[in-house]
Amino acid sequence: MHSGLFERAFFRIAGDQGLLVEYGDEINLEVNTKVRTMAIIMKQYTPKGVIETIPTYRSLLIVYDPSITNLAKLQKELQRLEERLYEIQIPPPDTIEIPVCYGGEFGPDIEFVAETHDLSVKEVIQLHSEPEYLIYMVGFTPGFPFLGGLSEKLHTSRLETPRTFVPKGSVGIANNQTGIYPVSSPGGWQLIGRSPIKLFAPERPNPFLYQAGDHIKFKPITLEEYSRLDKEDEK
């Protein structure tokens, strides 16, 4: 059975300081595990000239200093490091609980999601909050987690016309994905709720609450609980 994982990595030029390394052709756990493992080994054995390594669903973007290294050297180094994957164990993931107030003004699209799948709003909330979601990658805006594991019963297309403003903390659905907006931004996801906690805070020693490979568990809360947590988070 085709797993989506390439036998050999594909290398693509990404501008004058980037190398894109593709490890698969679809979004799945095996491909993403290899991406995250390579990201870990790159941190432990950073090749000379590498500035940053950015993991995605199925690839790594390597940002490098062309005055120190070049594409040919990087490819050889990456192939050498890939042979050492057996030495690396991915650390056990953290599970971060995210409180969410579903529906109402915080989830203007939850009724649409429910009607689309012939469900009640209560069933949408239950289905959405049951799983522990794997964070496949973080991006789009600072700290935006792209989560795998959304129930097929909730797969819902994006908005035909994106909103120009989505409040921070909003939880949404786009096709087979769910995620959270850590900062206010435009967006086209179906909004079903909002979290009162600060997901991205540049003033903190660690600005993010999670990283790729961690799990997120949503916890439904009431409007009163939302207000209380929102006030506590402002302190």
Whole-model pTM: value is 0.80
Whether residues 58 and 171 fall in one domain: no
Whether the predicted pLDDT of 164 surpasses 90: yes
Same domain, 145 and 123: yes
Let me know whether 83 and 149 are in one domain: no
Same domain, 178 and 221: yes
CATH of the domain at 162: 2.40.100.10
Residue 137 lies in domain: 95-234
Distances (CA, A) of 84 to 28, 58, 81, 87: 22, 19, 5, 6
Domain count, the chain: 2
State how far the alpha carbon of 137 is from the alpha carbons of 71, 80, 158, 176, in Å: 25, 24, 19, 15
SS3 annotation, 167-201: CCCEEEEEECEEEECCCCEEECCEEEEECCCCCEC
Which residue, 55, 87, 119, sits at the end of a domain? 87
Q: Which of 69, 87, 105 is the last residue of a domain?
A: 87
| Contact partners, residue 157, CB within 8 Å, separation at least 6 | 174, 175
pLDDT reported for residue 103: 97
The pLDDT, as a whole number, for residue 89 is 74
Residue 11 parent element (H or E): strand 5-13
Residue appearing with tokens 């390394």: 21
Whether 1 shows a pLDDT value over 60: the answer reads: no
Do residues 18 and 62 both lie within one domain?
A: yes
Q: What count of other Cβ atoms lies within 10 Å of the Cβ of residue 142?
A: 15
Same domain, residue pair 65 and 117: no
Task: Tell me: do 74 and 106 sit in the same domain.
Answer: no
> At 12, is the secondary structure helix, strand, or coil?
strand
Residue 52 sits in a domain of what CATH number?
Answer: 3.30.1360.40
Q: Are 187 and 172 in contact (CB under 8 A)?
A: yes
20-24, 84-88, 153-157: segment of lowest average pLDDT = 84-88
Residues 49, 104, single domain; the answer is no
195 with 221, same domain: the answer is yes
Whether residue 29 is found in the same domain as residue 110 = no
Structure tokens at 191: 């909004």
Shared-domain flag, residues 64 and 125: no
Statement to judge: residues 110 and 204 lie in one domain: yes
DSSP string, 54-73: EE-SSEEEEEE-TTT--HHH
Q: Which amino acid is at 91?
A: P
